[in-house]
Amino acid sequence: MKRRSLIKAFTLSASIAAMGLSWSIQAAETIKVGILHSLSGTMAISETSLKDMALMTIEQINAKGGVNGKLLEPVVVDPASNWPLFAEKGRQLLTQDKVAVVFGCWTSVSRKSVLPVFEELNGLLFYPVQYEGEEMSPNVFYTGAAPNQQAIPAVEYLMSDDGGAAKRYFLLGTDYVYPRTTNKILRAFLHSKGVADKDIEEVYTPFGHSDYQTIVANIKKFSAGGKTAVISTVNGDSNVPFYKELANQGLKATDVPVVAFSVGEEELRGIDTKPLVGHLAAWNYFESVDNPVNSQFVADWQAYAKAKNLPGADKAVTNDPMEATYVGIHMWAQAVEKAKSTDVDKVREALAGQTFKAPSGYTLTMDKSNHHLHKPVMIGEIQDDGQFNVVWETEQPLRAQPWSPFIPGNDKRPDYAVKGN
């Protein structure tokens, strides 16, 4: 028996060694690009697909001859959902591997953990996820949505007749900074629209909370008081039990619509969506968006997933953060072309005002000063096939307000990126 497990161990290590080699075989003249997404631990659920998307985009760029005649060489590391490890790996990418740019992070805490490192070493980070704002670093480009590019339009929609003209709002979130800040902003916004505090309920659940009986019961109780909408910032894993409970307690979207800010196609893969039809999500991109760029994008991704036979490749889906990653990498590549160099300061300059025809069907612009993308906002309704049907969208991309005007004191903030805030 000893022998057997030893052999097991040996074969394992052998295969590992093989893996190891594949990294070292690379083109001579390359630009190293860091990819900093958790491949293990709790965040792997969301971040692995971003890693694959990044690799695909890089492959495409290389297929077109790379950037400035050099091939891009991805350096993938696994911060293992461990926040201090993010900082360590970030430093390693910048100092040891000397990468020109890093694409990565999902949670705000991971971004905040690497931020000092990037500011210290003047690195360049592209952050592809919607977040709570309240930050604007010269060393980070935010390709995800700021609150005013996701949360506020969603609420405006709920207030409209088509959205069901909701009078009462149940703000449900997992207890961490993104939901708290978002809800804070929303509350201020609702006040400005004349919604009284008695018509706003704010509830938080611990991480990985899986028993939503009480909360759904409360939602029902609350909704008896008038047309109610639930605004959910519940994070990843807790969504399935939440939606299942909703369905089983017979709370239909026609009675109480739920609009979620962190539920996309990827998350829906884990849920039986038939009972959820009509519930909403607000994003800047949906896989179902109908335009040539997107159909190409989706096709490429599905082909890539098959080719690399990623797990669950047969029903590979794209979602907003993946699109943001894709856009981010392309914009960076364009900027490098423009700057004729990968020097961070030159690239930063070149990025200002950079435009890219994105799968969302719009031509997105990197803002001149605030390091955020101008993004369109779309409200999608969950369909029984796990896709979203866009029921509302802004006429043109909105400029981001990372310093939300609804948070006191932000009016004094500068509208350009400065270190250390």
Partner 1 sequence: MPKALQRLFLGLLLLLPLAVQAADADYFIAAKANEQARLLQDWAAQPDPARLELLSSLQQGRIAPGDTRKLRLNNRLRGLVDNALASHQLLSTDSAVRLAAARQLQKSAQPAQVAFLDRRFAGEADASVHAALALALANLQLVDSDPAVRLAAVRLLGETGDPMARTRLQTLLEPGVESTASVRTAAETSLAQVKRKLLIGELLGQAFSGLSLGSILLLAALGLAITFGLLGVINMAHGEMLMLGAYATYVVQILVQRYAPEAIAFYPLIALPVAFAVSAGVGMLLERTVIRHLYGRPLETLLATWGISLILIQTIRLLFGAQNVEVANPAWLSGGIQVLPNLVLPYSRLVIIAFALFVVVLTWLLLNRTRLGLNVRAVTQNRNMAACCGVPTGRVDMLAFGLGSGIAGLGGVALSQIGNVGPDLGQSYIIDSFLVVVLGGVGQLAGSLWAAFGLGIANKLLEPQIGAVLGKILILALIILFIQKRPQGLFALKGRVID
Partner 2 sequence: MNQPLLVTASQKAGPRWTLAIGAAVLLVLLALPLLSLLPAGHSLQVSAYTLTLVGKILCYAIVALALDLVWGYAGLLSLGHGLFFALGGYAMGMYLMREAAGDGLPAFMTFLSWSELPWYWAGTQHFAWALCLAMLAPGLLALVFGFFAFRSRIKGVYFSIMTQALTFAGMLLFFRNETGFGGNNGFTSFRRILGFEITAQSTRAVLFLLTVALLVASLYLGWRLARSKFGRVLTALRDAENRLMFCGYDPRGFKLFVWVLSAVLCGLAGALYVPQVGIINPSEMSPTNSIEAAVWVALGGRGTLIGPLLGAGLVNGMKSWFTVAFPEYWLFCLGALFILVTLYLPRGVVGLLKKRGEQ
Question: Which residues sit at the interface with partner 2, rule CB under 8 A?
Answer: 2, 5, 9, 12-13, 15-16, 19-20, 23, 39-40, 76-80, 82-85, 87-89, 91-92, 95-96, 107-109, 112-113, 115-117, 120, 134, 175-177, 180-181, 184, 206-207, 407-409, 420-421
Nearer to partner 1, 26 or 213 (CB): 213
Nearer to partner 2, 179 or 359 (CB): 179
Nearer to partner 2, 71 or 121 (CB): 121
| Residue 227 neighbours by CB distance under 10 Å | 14
Torsion, CA 302, CA 306, CA 311, CA 312, rounded to 10: 50
| Residue 102 neighbours by CB distance under 10 Å | 28
**Contacts to partner 1 from residues 231-250, by CB under 8 A:** 237, 239-241, 244-245, 247-250
369's contact among partner 2, partner 1, none, with CB below 5 to 8 A by partner kind, is none
Half-sphere exposure of 331 (CA within 13 A, CB side): 35
237's contact among partner 1, partner 2, none, with CB below 5 to 8 A by partner kind, is partner 1
Do 172 and 215 form a contact (C-beta atoms < 8 A)?
Answer: yes
Q: Is 278 in the site for partner 1 (CB under 8 A)?
A: yes
139's contact among partner 1, partner 2, none, with CB below 5 to 8 A by partner kind, is none
Q: Is 209 in the site for partner 1 (CB under 8 A)?
A: yes
341's contact among partner 1, partner 2, none, with CB below 5 to 8 A by partner kind, is none
245's contact among partner 1, partner 2, none, with CB below 5 to 8 A by partner kind, is partner 1
Nearer to partner 2, 87 or 282 (CB): 87
Residue 172 phi/psi, 5-degree rounding, is: -110, 130
The distance of closest approach from Cβ of residue 175 to partner 1 in the complex, given in angstroms and rounded to an integer, is 6
The distance of closest approach from Cβ of residue 392 to partner 2 in the complex, given in angstroms and rounded to an integer, is 29
Given the DSSP bridges, would you call strands 71-77 and 378-382 parallel, antiparallel or unpaired? unpaired
Nearer to partner 1, 269 or 357 (CB): 269
Got the DSSP string for 197-235? Answer: GGGEEEEEE-TT----HHHHHHHHHHHTTSSEEEEEE--
191's contact among partner 1, partner 2, none, with CB below 5 to 8 A by partner kind, is none
The distance of closest approach from Cβ of residue 5 to partner 1 in the complex, given in angstroms and rounded to an integer, is 6
414's contact among partner 1, partner 2, none, with CB below 5 to 8 A by partner kind, is none
Do 166 and 257 form a contact (C-beta atoms < 8 A)?
Answer: yes
165: CB partners within 8 A, 6+ apart: 159, 227
6: its two tokens: 């030893």
332: CB partners within 8 A, 6+ apart: 101, 124, 126, 141, 347, 351
Q: How far is CA 284 from CA 135, 147, 288, 393, in A?
A: 20, 12, 12, 9
Nearer to partner 2, 97 or 255 (CB): 97
